[in-house]
Structure 1
């Protein structure tokens, strides 16, 4: 078990220690659940009162908050408790599953595939024709990488993920369990006799930049003509749908159960709230925010926040909701 003194913790955070504790810290925990050997976090004023009843021996707090440490307890004041928390979680992060062999004997790796140095390929993986894996790529058991796909250095692909043919994946990406990259887009047209549906072939691919993370059971469909593109640093939650020919700029965020219809463009730094839906062929410009559960039917200007169904300027929508509540009260 990892254990650290409060001083060793602060050597990492470089904050200001107030008070002291003789307890060794063996992990982080929520204030309400923490034991005397755990450290917790206070990033908002509404949690300050929980410190008095918490058993945690230490807490990391925003330096804008006023908290007294108490007997044999310490606080570390930092500019941003959330970012400090990330460092502590990384410190106590357990080691990932171990590979007894670099390439498991049940894995199928085509003879034409190029495997970089230090790659790990788990049981029952499939690596197809002319696939290129950069150095340090990790494929956990039951991953399929189809023909002519390229994956950059140090990308980690968790079990159940399928990356279809001709996709281009950057370095230092993380794909969680059961991600689908490069499946056909959803495209059909009525047949000439009007009695059936004709499937529209999708012959493009998916291009994903560096440091992209995609959550469990999310899907990124291949382009109809060219590519569906995710820029560097995008973070995609679980159960997200990104349809054919969408283009995401750098560092976009999409929360769980949100979805983009075909040919949507997101500018740099766009945030899409959970369960939101974006109509096809729209552009949401850089820095815009779409509130959770919204339905976007029109382009959204840079830096604008929209909410509601159909989505509109958040300030206008909030005023409408207030007016409706007043009307309901008579």
Structure 2
């Protein structure tokens, strides 16, 4: 349930509009003019709310919901209670997201903390920086010399945009973020505390000490990328670090220098990717996955949470474990280990402690 003081309702929608947006047919006999004025989880939804359901774990919640409208997959359509209108969709979560975007557009990306446009008092914008119309710079933010920022972009309080950085249009740069040596596309979202373009971890090691290697590359972030709070992306050493179009990166992720992340990848929280590794398009890395350097993860591959990847992964593969291996092998090894432990415990009479 949305809290209006944080996420005000932008508009209400009638049932006909919800059906059109979701692509799901409105059942016969339902009044298309009836209105939706909110969205909520199944167990909290009321008669004026829209909800969704596409997970067997929530069958009981669906049966007891008081939602006026519920987006539901075909396999659960028969479980929708009589007082709730079912909109049957093959992708109810996706449809629900479209409805939320219409009802609560301010929740899509960080906005100005102060709700204003233009350069606020207390912000610093260097005289040589170039800002298009409708750029917002909040108090305490810094825009360095030669930086360029596109129309519709919001630079939140205490963000620092370094010299010569380029940021495209309709971006959101969260509070306390720092960006240097970077080119950023359009509609990019950086949540608070993101660090872009700092030194990669590069040292020429020797018994006499470790010599710092200058990192002279950039970070290239393509359109429609989203990066979660307190994630860090190092600039390249001798070539660019690249984050491909549409990729979504969770909080607390570390991406090392020279890495190339493909288009529409999903990288979940606390992942660490060592330098010069490549993720091809549509790769998914579960939480706390660790990748060694100079590896390639093929297009569409998926790696289970907490896996340690020490070698290349082929296209479309499913890997897991430590060290990571094909998921089926990992599952078999885990089952066998469990059986061996149980057998040993039985032989010893269960007295081990």
> TM exceeds 0.5?
yes
Task: Provide the residue aligned with 1:85 in structure 2.
Answer: 96
5 Å-filtered alignment, 1:260-299, equals: 260-299=273-312
Which segments of 5 or more consecutive residues in structure 1 lack a partner in the other structure? Answer: none
Taking the aligned partners of 1:116 and 1:38, their CA distance within structure 2 comes to 39
- Long gaps (5+) in structure 2: 1-8, 344-353
Q: In 1, are the aligned partners of 2:172 and 2:187 still within 8 Å (CA)?
A: yes
Cα RMSD after superposing both structures: 1.9
- The residue number in structure 2 matching 1:25 is 36
Which region of structure 1 is more displaced relative to structure 2, 54-63 or 118-127? 54-63
State the alpha-carbon separation in 2 of the partners of residues 27 and 293 from structure 1: 37
Distance 1:191 1:327 in 2: 45
Tell me whether 1:126 sits opposite 2:135 in the alignment: no
Report whether the alignment pairs 1:140 with 2:156.
yes
1:185 to 200, 207, 210: 200
Match of 2:183 in 1: 168
Of 110-119 and 275-284, deviating more is 110-119
Most deviating of 78-87 and 92-101: 92-101
Shift of 1:20: 4.3
The equivalent residue for 1:11 is 20
SS of the counterpart of 1:65?
helix
Is the aligned partner of 1:254 residue 2:267?
yes
CA distance in 1, matches of 2:225, 2:14: 34
2:215 corresponds in structure 1 to: 202
1:148-184 superposed Cα distances (whole Å, 9 cap, x missing partner) = 11111211111111001x3111111111100000011
Within the candidate set 237, 240, 252, 2:253 is matched to 240
Shift of 1:44: 2.5
Whole-Å separation in 1 of the counterparts to 2:245 and 2:23: 29
Deviation at 1:191, TM superposition (A): 4.8
| Conserved? CA contact 1:99–1:122, under 8 Å | no
Post-superposition CA distance 1:270-321 (Å, at most 9, x none): 1111110000111111111111110000000111110001000001111111
1-structure distance, mates of 2:308, 2:87: 42
> Secondary structure at the residue paired with 1:207?
strand
- Between 80-89 and 196-205, report the one with greater CA deviation: 196-205
Shift of 1:114: 1.1
Separation (CA, whole Å) in 1 of partners of 2:273 and 2:162? 25
- Cα offsets for 1:179-210 (capped at 9, x unmatched): 000011112344553xx433222121111111
1:71 shift after superposition: 3.8
Structure 1 or 2: more helix by fraction: 2
Aligned length: 327
CA–CA distance in 2 between the matches of 1:150 and 1:130?
Answer: 9
Deviations 1:76-109 (A, max 9, x none): 1112111101112112215344543411121111
Q: Distance in 2 between matches of 1:84 and 1:73?
A: 17
* Conserved 8 A contact 2:21-2:95: no
Paired residues of 1:23 and 1:36 also in contact (CA < 8 A): no
- Residue 12 of structure 2 aligns to a residue in which SS? coil
| Matched-pair contact (CA < 8 Å) for 1:23–1:57 | no
Conserved in 2, the CA contact under 8 Å of 1:158 and 1:178? yes
Once residues 105 and 167 of structure 2 are traced to their aligned partners in structure 1, the CA distance between those partners, rounded to angstroms, is 26
Are 1:60 and 2:71 counterparts? yes
